[in-house]
Amino acid sequence: MASYQSYLENHQDRFLAELIEFLRIPSISALPERAEDVACAGQWVAQRLTAAGVENVEVLPTDGHPVVYGDWLHAPDRPTIMIYGHFDVQPVDPVELWTNPPFEPTLVGDRVYARGASDDKGNMLAPIVAVEALLKGEGEAPVNLKFCFEGQEEIGSPHIPDFMPQHSERFACDLAVSADGGQFSETEPILLMSLRGVCGLQIDVHGASSDLHSGLHGGRIQNPIHALTQILGSLRRADGRIAVEGFYDDVVELTSDERAAVALVPFDGDRYLKELGLEEAFGEPGYTNRERGWVRPTLEMNGIWGGFQEEGIKTVLPNSAHAKITCRLVADQDPARIIALLAEHIAQHAPPGVSVEVTPLSILGRPYSISADHWGNRAAAAVLKEMYGREPYQTRSGGSIPITGVFREQLGVDTISFGFGIEDENFHAPDEFFRLASFRKSQVAYCKLLAELGASAPPK
């Protein structure tokens, strides 16, 4: 028997080697041809949980990528904490902008570069390692534990809403802790108050039955790219406000206190722009940059394509054009209603001479929020204050973790965020990396958090 501290120290080299092994698996959930790699990552997680001393480990099928379950339930009268994370990753294109191949993890100083390093493989491996240190080092954990690791977070967890009700007993718990999150900086901790929801759709505009000669037919028929740009142009006003009727209907404006709390979080607008390589910010009038990113809904075009895209010239009048759009939502916007509003707007703004098809994307998440006074957040705040020497900021995220809404609706449990990514780590972009200092720190932090939650859970 050893303290979790010394256990963690003694096995750190192995943990890093395991992280690198985990990062080699190209588990891109968005690409159908990578489905086996996602499954392989799930198997890796299951084996890693078992090796950590976790029991009843199972890879559970869904209608899409699998969910990995495991538990350790030997702490009578203690709360049951479910640790959440995801083993799928984002696509890697444009792959030519990566300094090193995205699935060949590369150590540079105290960082590991790879797709998924921060989001979320590094972050989700930390609590597994922490639990191993508790179970193998100290012989027990201070709480009952369940694990829920999914393989479809990056595509919006489309099959989790159907999956979870079938397993509600298995996943029953007192609190979910999401390892898919971050801290403000290496020295400043946070509590996460809200996440945006998400929904999306694809627009397909079809014209003639084949591509045509722009000299012979130009000017005589509708051009699908013209039509698409006209539709897309109508979705947003030039000043950045979304022009879809009803879009803002269910948005709950922040109170002045809440706006003040947002304003308390440091933000260097010049540095933000400099880091992105931009000259100026842009967004909805009447809101700060932080508010635009955290508590205002968005409509962003993720991709567009049609016609001739290679080097050179082809004087073609193309027969189709396409775009993918996703919206980030805030309380109390309903993703299904937003999709319906967008579809209606697009139908009303479809120009003559083409057919316009709207297909919802399989990404759907409700906005999520939680109070700073929640017992889980109070425990997290205590640990973070001890480790960082300061109170956490109360921040919000512009991102979406749809499963938090599913946990609340279908398991009746709240989720706190307890992850150690930092915003500069290029999630969803080329050259994603994770700080190894964060990897080590999060292992200790999880041991402390579980102890704190065990001690402070409200009586049932």
Q: Residue 181 CB, nearest distance to its own copies (Å)?
A: 12
Site residues for its own copies, 322-341, by CB under 8 A, read 322-324, 326, 328
Q: Measured between alpha carbons, how far is residue 191 from residues 181, 188, 225 in Å?
A: 10, 11, 45
Let me know: does 294 contact 395? Beta carbons within 8 Å: yes
Q: Quick one: 101 or 240, whose CB is closer to its own copies? A: 240
Strands 67-72 and 55-60: antiparallel
Site residues for its own copies, 113-152, by CB under 8 A, read none
Strands 144-150 and 67-72: antiparallel
DSSP 419: -
Q: CA-to-CA distance for 174 and 458, rounded, in angstroms? A: 10
Q: Of 43, 56, 185, 362, which lies in the binding site for its own copies, with binding defined by CB under 8 A?
A: 362
Helix or strand or coil: residue 357?
Answer: strand
Single out the residue of 367, 436, 458 nearest to residue 110, CA to CA: 436
Q: Work out whether 196 is an interface residue with its own copies (CB under 8 A).
A: yes
Only segment of 183-191, 305-313, 332-340, 445-453 that touches its own copies (CB under 8 A): 305-313
If you search the block for the tokens 């030997």, which residue do you land on? 74
Helix or strand or coil: residue 142?
Answer: coil
Residue 393, amino acid: Y
Site residues for its own copies, 237-276, by CB under 8 A, read 238, 240, 272, 276
Q: Of 315, 348, 359, 371, which lies in the binding site for its own copies, with binding defined by CB under 8 A?
A: 315
Alpha helices in 164-265 (DSSP H): 214-217, 224-235, 256-264
Q: Residue 430 CB, nearest distance to its own copies (Å)?
A: 6
Only segment of 74-82, 169-177, 254-262, 303-311 that touches its own copies (CB under 8 A): 303-311
Q: Residue 294 CB, nearest distance to its own copies (Å)?
A: 9
Q: Quick one: 195 or 381, whose CB is closer to its own copies? A: 195
DSSP 458: P
Q: Work out whether 229 is an interface residue with its own copies (CB under 8 A).
A: yes
Q: CA-to-CA distance for 113 and 36, rounded, in angstroms? A: 23
Site residues for its own copies, 147-186, by CB under 8 A, read 154-156
Q: 94 preceded by cis ω (within 30°)? A: yes
Q: Work out whether 360 is an interface residue with its own copies (CB under 8 A).
A: no
Residue 19 burial (CB count, 10 A): 22
- With 0-12 CB in 10 A as exposed, 13-18 as middle and 19+ as buried, what is 63? exposed
Residue 94, amino acid: P
Q: Quick one: 114 or 143, whose CB is closer to its own copies? A: 114
Q: Work out whether 398 is an interface residue with its own copies (CB under 8 A).
A: yes
Q: Of 165, 266, 303, 412, which lies in the binding site for its own copies, with binding defined by CB under 8 A?
A: 303
Q: Quick one: 170 or 324, whose CB is closer to its own copies? A: 324
Q: Quick one: 94 or 109, whose CB is closer to its own copies? A: 94
Q: Residue 173 CB, nearest distance to its own copies (Å)?
A: 26
Q: Quick one: 196 or 440, whose CB is closer to its own copies? A: 196
Q: Quick one: 139 or 266, whose CB is closer to its own copies? A: 266
Q: Of 43, 56, 185, 289, which lies in the binding site for its own copies, with binding defined by CB under 8 A?
A: 289
CA 291 to chain centre: 19
Only segment of 140-148, 173-181, 185-193, 277-285 that touches its own copies (CB under 8 A): 277-285
- With 0-12 CB in 10 A as exposed, 13-18 as middle and 19+ as buried, what is 226? middle
Q: Work out whether 217 is an interface residue with its own copies (CB under 8 A).
A: yes
Q: Measured between alpha carbons, how far is residue 207 from residues 79, 232, 314 in Å?
A: 60, 17, 18
Q: Work out whether 301 is an interface residue with its own copies (CB under 8 A).
A: yes
Only segment of 45-53, 128-136, 321-329, 331-339 that touches its own copies (CB under 8 A): 321-329
Let me know: does 177 contact 295? Beta carbons within 8 Å: no
If you search the block for the tokens 């992280």, which residue do you land on? 19
Site residues for its own copies, 400-459, by CB under 8 A, read 400, 423, 426-431
Let me know: does 230 contact 349? Beta carbons within 8 Å: yes
DSSP 162: H
Q: CA-to-CA distance for 99 and 114, rounded, in angstroms? A: 10
Using CB under 8 A as the binding criterion, the count of chain residues that bind its own copies stands at 101
In the shown chain, the binding pattern of residues 52 to 91 toward its own copies, with x for contact by CB under 8 A and - for none, equals --------------------------------------xx
Site residues for its own copies, 13-32, by CB under 8 A, read 30-32
Q: Work out whether 194 is an interface residue with its own copies (CB under 8 A).
A: no
Q: Residue 287 CB, nearest distance to its own copies (Å)?
A: 9
